[in-house]
Amino acid sequence: MIYAYAFVAIAACVAIERFHNRRAKIAIALALAAFLAIAPRFYGNEAVFSILADAAVYVMLALGLNIVVGFAGLLDLGYAAFFAIGAYTYGMLASPQFGLHLPFWVLLFLAAALAALFGALLGAPTLRLHGDYLAIVTLGFGEIVPQIFQNLTKYTGGPNGIAALDIPSFFGHSFGASVMPYYYIALLGIVAALWISRNLRESRLGRAWMAIREDELAAKHAGINVLRSKLAAFAIGASFSGIGGVLFAAKLALVSPDLFGFQVSVLIVSMLVLGGMGNIVGVVVGSLLLTIVNSALLPQINSLVDTTFHTTIDLSNIHFLIYGAILVGIMLFRPEGLLPNRERRDEFHHNGEAEAEA
Amino acid sequence: MHEFLAQLANGVELGAIYALIALGYTLVYGILELINFAHGDVYTFGSFTALVVLVALRAAHVLHGVGLILGIVAALLVAILACALLNAGIERLAYRRLRKAPRLAPLITAIGVSFMLENLIELWQGSAPVPFPNVIPNPELRFGALQVGVQQIVVVALAIVTMIALHYFVQRSRLGKAMRAVAQDRDAASLVGINVDRTIAITFLIAGALAGVAGFVGGVSFGSAWFLNGFGAGLRAFTAAVLGGIGNIAGAMLGGFLIGLLESFSTWFIGGQWSNVAVFSVLILVLVFRPSGLLGESLPEKV
Amino acid sequence: MSLLELSGVSKRFGALTAVANVTLGVEEGAIFGIIGPNGAGKSTLFNLLTAIYRFDEGCIAIDGTSLAGMTTQEIARLGVARTFQNLRLLGNASALANVMVGEHLLLRANILDALLNTTRERRERAEAEQRARELLRFVGIAGIDEQFARNLSYGTQRRLEIARALAARPRLLLLDEPAAGLNPSEKRDLVALIRSIRDGGATVLLIEHDMGLVMNLCERIAVLDYGEKIAEGTPNEIREHPRVIEAYLGAPA
């Protein structure tokens, strides 16, 4: 069942990518959206849509990171920190922790703003750094943030985190135990994220990012404020993650510091790399593929192997191996990702020649 | 005073381990401008190979008298060899193809390799820490108020000897000079007849060997090995390399000891749960305010 | 007052003095050439003008505004645009996108416009695209709009870079060896192009190796040798200047 949904979504994405006609693209996108919105009435159970809702949150995260890595060319290895900030915003302000029970819908926006603020705070001093150094600094930040949440036990519940978070409601109708509201909200979130991503890519700011990614010195000479443009990328990317964090925390009704480690940051980078950095549709495909493998395929293969051979192998243990193999394999054999954008493909395949000419 | 000296000894011991790992980062960065993210996991691999050798030898009941010394040397040598080959293998299979790729590609690949190594080591040795065979006798020695174990002395001495040997190798030997030439200008080095591929491969061998020494020493010192050890230790060591001035051998040693002391004293003063925050804050501050490190020189941007 | 004024400008790299006590003025509307043997400090001088390097001594001013302490981006805002000796195009972007990046300072859309794709953003984008197409036509490379910069021929890339610099509507255009690698007919076109750029209102300062081209095109010329300005004048004065002859032909034995 879950594969049917994933297959339809991915096939539609590939079709959108392959068609050149703008009308056809829009038609396919609308059909896909309608299908995903109506399908729950006919098929599927809560478990399937729980996975799909998680997948949708990851798609949002990946689209956010894509703005930073794919558009502006800044490798952020601590992106999960903003996810944590979003989740803890909900965890601390909508739970018995402080007796504050702010509404979910308000916190969605507050978390986006807070994550953006922290993105800017991290970025302001560090964005002068180049390439690998920036990556390592963001990694350091990504390690510090969950550690701080873990250590400030009085406010954050320490290593155990905060449980029994409020169940959101919509005009007085509580979400209850159903995952469907999260599924629909996450779908809406993806639509918004896609729209914003496309707007940004085509905008003056998007062209500035492209210039910075390609040649920072040339960008400066065109009068582009490099630092401010990078900050914008960091802040906007982080805000997507903040919203994702609220959705994630509310659905799980729990936050704890171990949910936001380096592995999560690398998982999202893997989604980008798999799908093709910079390409909006490719990123969606990459994140869908990886989430489905993680949450559906691996457990199923696991139980199949166990029942067939009467073993108790734990295949969930090979997540890291899979992310690692994806990163290495894609970089070595198809650096532009499964669905590259035109620009990146050329960049990866012609760089050697260009250097030789220069 | 006692506590202070104990923390000092502790910090120096930690620092020696970080310095050994940091040298591996610095050597590779110096020559390829690549942060070999998998280096920390090569260190973990070193700990486990030494552990496996020692466990096997203990099971064979040969670890006493001369056999003990030979056994320890054997474990160290096996760790060195295994790590050197692993590191060079990673270079050959993964990084070599990416020399001309855009800058982010090798780093992303290195992270991928790191994840694969961690997972493979976990599949091999399980996800819980494995106790390191406690075969090296560890009587406490007293020097006035300072109390140190023999193990601590061995650990630090072994690290320092290794570093001195490395220093002379890089400064004096033919190969060392070739390494410096390639680090300076790869094209020019190849024009004067230096085999660049081979020199880079040898750099990875040496960096791996250092990680092997560190892996052995770290196993002895921490008393256990864990599949994720390399992540934290690697990041600390990388911080050390950056603090000292990346690409700079003396800087990596200095940085290693400073980070070791920082960790030990921050644990003492503000608690172990904050030591990560302290170390990474140092990393961020150094990179932001003095990216060339304590001993590095800043180079003007090429136009 | 001159549009660009340098007085006593020096730049040292360690023991090497790349630019030594250079004073010169470029009048508004001029085509001004800087020549000199390899390593004379010409490119360094350009890099001082756009703050890639900081000068150690002296003063540089554009229209009376001192450049001391300014960043590259701030200098661009003063109306200075440039090309590079080794071309710095955005290789993986279309020719049109390259020129549109050059228009950055003409546009006003902010981050909110970008997020929401407002009317202002869309109107500006359409106008920018229109202007970019016109500029490509103006520099003589119409019809390559959608091609990637890196796939273009060398001569086309040179023109594209000039188009990108012009896109900012600069008051002062710095051209770093614009004729390098061009064949004679391309050089003739380049001379015509630079003249029409000047006629369009920009002041042009160029570094060039091709003496014939400089003598033919420039109204005033300065000669650098070992970082020092050894002569300045009209093409005829330069041609007969003894120190220039000495610098180019070597000191008489």
Residues A123-137 have pLDDT tens digits of 988 888 887 889 989
- Comparing CB atoms, the residue among A317, A329, A355 nearest residue B122 is A317
Phi-psi region at B195: left, alpha or beta (left = phi > 0; alpha = psi -120 to 50) = beta
Chain C residue with the nearest C-alpha to that of A343: C92
Supply the pLDDT for residue A306: 79
Which residues of chain C are at the B interface, by a Cβ-Cβ cutoff of 8 Å?
Answer: 13, 47, 52-53
Q: Tell me, what's the pLDDT at A246?
A: 96
Per-residue pLDDT band for A357 (boundaries 50, 70, 90) equals very low
Q: Could you give all domains of chain C from N- to C-terminal order, each with its CATH number? A: 1-79+170-253 (3.40.50.300), 98-169 (no CATH)
Q: Quick one: pLDDT band at residue A349, thresholds 50, 70, 90? A: low
* A-to-B residue pairs, Cβ atoms closer than 8 angstroms: 135
Contact C109 A196 (CB under 8 A): no
Which ranges in chain A belong to alpha helices (H)?
2-18, 22-38, 46-66, 80-93, 104-126, 131-151, 153-156, 180-202, 204-214, 216-221, 226-252, 262-275, 280-292, 298-309, 319-333, 342-357
Give pLDDT, residue C112.
Answer: 92
Q: How far is A318 from chain B (nearest CA, A)?
A: 6
Cα separation, B48 vs B229, in Å, equals: 11
Give the pair of three-digit tokens for residue A122.
Answer: 């991290």
Q: What is the ipTM of this complex?
A: 0.94
* Percentage of residues of chain A with pLDDT beyond 70: 94
Kindly identify which residue of chain C lies nearest to residue A231, measuring between CA atoms. Answer: C111
Using the beta-carbon criterion (under 8 Å), do B98 and A137 form an inter-chain contact?
no
Fold of B2-289: ABC transporter involved in vitamin B12 uptake, BtuC (1.10.3470)
Tens digit of pLDDT per residue, chain C (253 long)? 689 999 999 999 988 899 999 999 999 999 999 998 888 899 999 999 999 999 999 999 999 999 999 999 999 999 999 999 999 999 989 999 999 999 999 999 999 999 999 999 999 999 999 999 999 999 999 989 999 999 999 999 999 999 999 999 999 999 999 998 899 999 999 999 999 999 999 999 999 988 889 999 999 999 999 999 999 999 999 988 988 888 877 655 4
Of A202, A208, A222, which has the smallest distance from its Cβ to C168's Cβ?
Answer: A222
Query: Which residues lie below 8 Å from residue A236, measured CB to CB, with a gap of 6+?
Result: A64, A67, A116, A119, A196, A200, C111, C115
Query: Which pLDDT score, from 0 to 100, does residue B91 have?
Result: 96
pLDDT at residue A342 tops 80 = no
Q: What is the pLDDT of residue A353?
A: 40
Q: Which residue of C has its CA nearest to A227?
A: C73
CB atoms A205 and C150 under 8 Å = no
HSE value, Cβ hemisphere, 13 Å, CA-based, for A354: 22
Q: How far is A199 from chain C (nearest CA, A)?
A: 6
pLDDT at C251: 57
In this predicted structure, what is the pLDDT of residue C37? 86
Structure tokens at C224: 């650098």
> How many angstroms separate the Cα of C113 from the Cα of each of A173, A200, A236, C125, C207?
35, 9, 13, 11, 40
The tens digit of pLDDT for each residue in B109-141 reads: 999 999 999 999 999 998 899 999 887 777 888
Q: How far apart are CA C49 and CA C60, in angstroms?
A: 8
Q: Which residue has the higher pLDDT, C221 or A43?
A: C221
Amino acid letter for position B63: L
With contacts defined as CB-CB under 8 Å, which chain B residues touch A145? none
Confirm if A2 and A51 have CB atoms less than 8 A apart.
yes
**B299 in contact with chain C, both atoms CB, cutoff 8 A:** no
Chain C residue with Cα closest to B302: C52
pLDDT confidence tier of residue B258, bands split at 50, 70 and 90: very high
Residues of B in contact with A323 (CB under 8 A): 112, 115
pLDDT at residue A205 tops 90: yes
Looking at the complex, does the CB of residue B288 fall below 8 Å from at least one CB of chain C? Answer: no
Which residues of chain A lie closer than 8 angstroms to B114, CB-CB? Answer: 324
| Closest by Cβ to C114, choosing from A206, A219, A354 | A206
For helices A104-126 and B275-289, the axis angle rounded to 10 degrees is 50
Which residue in the set A223, A344, A358 is minimally distant from C73, CB to CB? A223
Residue range A2-357 in CATH 2.40.160: no
Q: Which candidate in C101, C103, C135, C176 is best for mutational testing of the A interface (most A CBs within 10 A)? A: C101
- Check C114 against A205: CB less than 8 A apart: yes
**B276/A132 Cβ within 8 A:** no
Q: Is B300 on the interface with C (CB under 8 A)?
A: yes
Secondary structure in 3-state letters for chain B:
CHHHHHHHHHHHHHHHHHHHHHHHHHHHHHHHCCCCCCHHHHHHHHHHHHHHHHHHHHHCCCCCCHHHHHHHHHHHHHHHHHHHHHHHHHHHHHHHHHCCCCCHHHHHHHHHHHHHHHHHHHHHHCCCCEECCCCCCCCEEEECCEEEEHHHHHHHHHHHHHHHHHHHHHHHCHHHHHHHHHHHCHHHHHHCCCCHHHHHHHHHHHHHHHHHHHHHHHHHHHCEECCCHHHHHHHHHHHHHHHHCCCCHHHHHHHHHHHHHHHHHHHHHHCHHHHHHHHHHHHHHHHHHCCCCCCCCCCCCCC
Residues 6 or more apart from B211 whose CB is under 8 A from it? B20, B21, B24, B39, B42, B43, B45, B46, B83, B87
User: Residue B210 — pLDDT band, cuts 50, 70, 90?
Assistant: very high
- HSE value, Cβ hemisphere, 13 Å, CA-based, for A345: 10
Region A211-229: mean pLDDT is: 95
Å from B239 to nearest chain A CA?
9
Decide if C92 and A214 are in contact by the 8 Å CB cutoff: yes
CB of A221 within 8 Å of a chain C CB? The answer is yes
Tokens standing for A174?
């509580």
User: Given the structure tokens 């002391």, which residue do they identify?
Assistant: B261
Chain A residue with Cα closest to B110: A328
* Chains touching C, CB cut-off 8 Å, 3+ pairs: A, B
- Is the per-residue pLDDT at A354 higher than 70? no
The pTM of the full predicted model, rounded to 2 decimals, is 0.91
Quick: pLDDT tens for B18-59.
999 999 999 999 888 899 999 999 999 999 999 999 999 999
What is the rounded average pLDDT for all residues in chain A?
88
- Distance in angstroms (rounded) separating the CA atoms of residues B192 and B181: 10
Mean pLDDT, residues A7-28 taken together: 83
Domain ranges of chain B: 2-289
> Is pLDDT above 80 for A213?
yes
CA angle in degrees (0–180, nearest 5) for C8-C12-C18? 80
